[in-house]
Amino acid sequence: MARNAAIHLGRRGLGALATGLAMAAQARAQSADPLPSWRPGPRKQALLDFVAAVTREGGPDFVPPPERVATFDNDGTLWVEQPAYTQLIFVLDRIRALAPRNPDWQQDPVFRAAIEGDIRGAVAGGSEGLLRLVGAAQAGQTPEAFQLIVSNWIGSARDARWNRRYDELVYQPMLEVLAYLRANGFITFIVSGGGVEFMRAFSERVYGVPPQQVVGTTMALKPGEQDGRIVLTRESHVDFIDDGPGKPVGIARFIGRRPVAAFGNSDGDYQMLRYTTEGAGRRFAMIVRHDDAEREYAYDRDSHIGRLDRAMNEAPGRGWQLISMKNDWARVFPG
């Protein structure tokens, strides 16, 4: 009987030990910093407070999980956009690769500049010239074939300043925000002026955002048949621009819910930030301000790429959090 009691007590002791270890592990997980690349401060705390408030069941600001939609701009918010948008660099590389098959391009100053790698000359033609370059570089394939071309390019092309792949020049603090929100029941979407199929080629691998949760600018698609199968072919003209006032349209059309949180970096995100925070209930908006020339770039009001002026002016009055990359981020890139 004494032996049975000892065994019983031993089992109870092991059970208590296991319970204690599990509770300690849970406490460590709860106390672990979900945003380790962010410096302590009001911006980080505002995000933590918002997530705590909208996920607290029974609380006045509780948001059911299906309604926890968070949207992120891509260029300048999730990865580097200077000295030129990554997709523009891809377009110029494609034009150079296709140039031998299109000798007449040499007669067009915009195309000639693109072939010579002259970014200033390539953009000198304005929106019309850029759209012609985009159409020539990105049309004629199925969406799947185009995404394979992008994947191969992303896997080999390197940024001139850091000599790193473009998918390595993503912002570690924002990767942590994406993961933190998803861990708290949010559905994360990319809503960007970039080409939707360009971003879908890497969004899941790099950001954890699957292709069906990417909203972007779209090229027209032409349906047809080949070998008895339906085939979609990308045409040379854009049929929807998901930038500026187009972002709320894209959100309504492709997501179907007004976000409760939105993240951007430029005036191109202004309407998305307003559309988010003008909804009912507790809302959150955050702007990445590029003010760190040493670790990344410093630009805002006078930049032709990622210009941040109106949104920065109105951020305090609208309750939007304005991040200082220099002061709020302990690190910028992974690794």
What is the dihedral angle through the alpha carbons of 72, 77, 82, 85, rounded to the nearest 10 degrees?
Answer: -10
By mean pLDDT, which of 22-26, 136-140, 157-161, 266-270 is the weakest? 22-26
Integer Cα distance of 8 and 147 in angstroms: 62
Q: How far apart are CA 174 and CA 132, in angstroms?
A: 33
Q: What is the pLDDT of residue 127?
A: 81
- Residue 175 CB: number of other CB atoms within 10 A? 18
195-254 pLDDT per residue, tens: 999 999 999 999 999 999 999 999 999 999 999 999 999 999 999 999 999 999 999 999
Query: In 10 A of CB 107, how many CB atoms?
Result: 8
Give the per-residue pLDDT at 8: 44
Q: How far is CA 92 from the centre of its chain?
A: 22
What pLDDT, in 10s, does the model give residues 88-119?
999 999 999 999 999 999 999 999 999 998 88
Phi, psi of 314 (to 5 degrees): -90, -10
Q: 174, 263 in Cβ contact below 8 A?
A: yes
pLDDT computed for residue 19 by the predictor: 46
Assigned token pair, 332: 């910028």
So where are the chain's domains? Answer: 39-82+165-328
How many helices (H) and strands (E) in the chain?
14, 8
Tell me how crowded residue 59 is: count the other CB atoms within 10 A of its CB: 12
pTM of the full structure: 0.89
Architecture of domain 39-82+165-328: 3-Layer(aba) Sandwich (3.40)
